[in-house]
Amino acid sequence: MSREFTLFLAIIILDVLLGALCLAIARCERGSPALLFWGWGLLGCALGFLLILFSITRLSSVAGFLGNSLLAWVPVLLIRGVLSHTRYHLRNRWIKAALALIVSVLAYNDFIGTPHLIIDIVALRRFVFISAC
């Protein structure tokens, strides 16, 4: 087993455990949307990393695309969890437009153009920046 595989596996296990813990506590704490958003965000992150790990081991571009698309959506959940304790809210129109743009760039990179890892990384980071603003 390589170091990268072990690191991915450790991140997936940690995200699943923390996500399940957040959801379990949110279930007991009625009225805690922040914990619900964080729990689902962490579970989504674990699933995204699992799909990417599957795409690396099986060389499936569909799994990589789905994993990266899911990882593009996770920051929205986490930011909504943080903002649930403030008076600020995300603008859904801008989030949907940015997500559609990022998913189309990821789809182009994985299916049409020559796949480049740097495009996946930059596209995901730009979406996090856009959704935080």
Map residue 85 onto helix, strand or coil.
coil
pTM for the model: 0.77
**How does pLDDT run along the chain (133 residues), one tens digit per residue?**
677 778 878 888 988 999 999 888 888 877 788 888 889 999 998 998 888 777 766 667 788 788 888 888 888 888 888 888 888 888 788 888 888 888 887 787 777 766 655 555 555 555 444 444 4
* Strands of the chain, DSSP E: none
**Backbone dihedral region for residue 31 (phi beyond 0: left; psi -120 to 50: alpha; all else: beta):** left
Q: Are 68 and 119 in contact (CB under 8 A)?
A: no
Q: How far apart are CA 34 and CA 40, in angstroms?
A: 10
Q: How far apart are CA 26 and CA 88, in angstroms?
A: 21
Dihedral angle sign, alpha carbons of residues 93, 107, 54, 9:
negative
Q: How far apart are CA 76 and CA 88, in angstroms?
A: 14
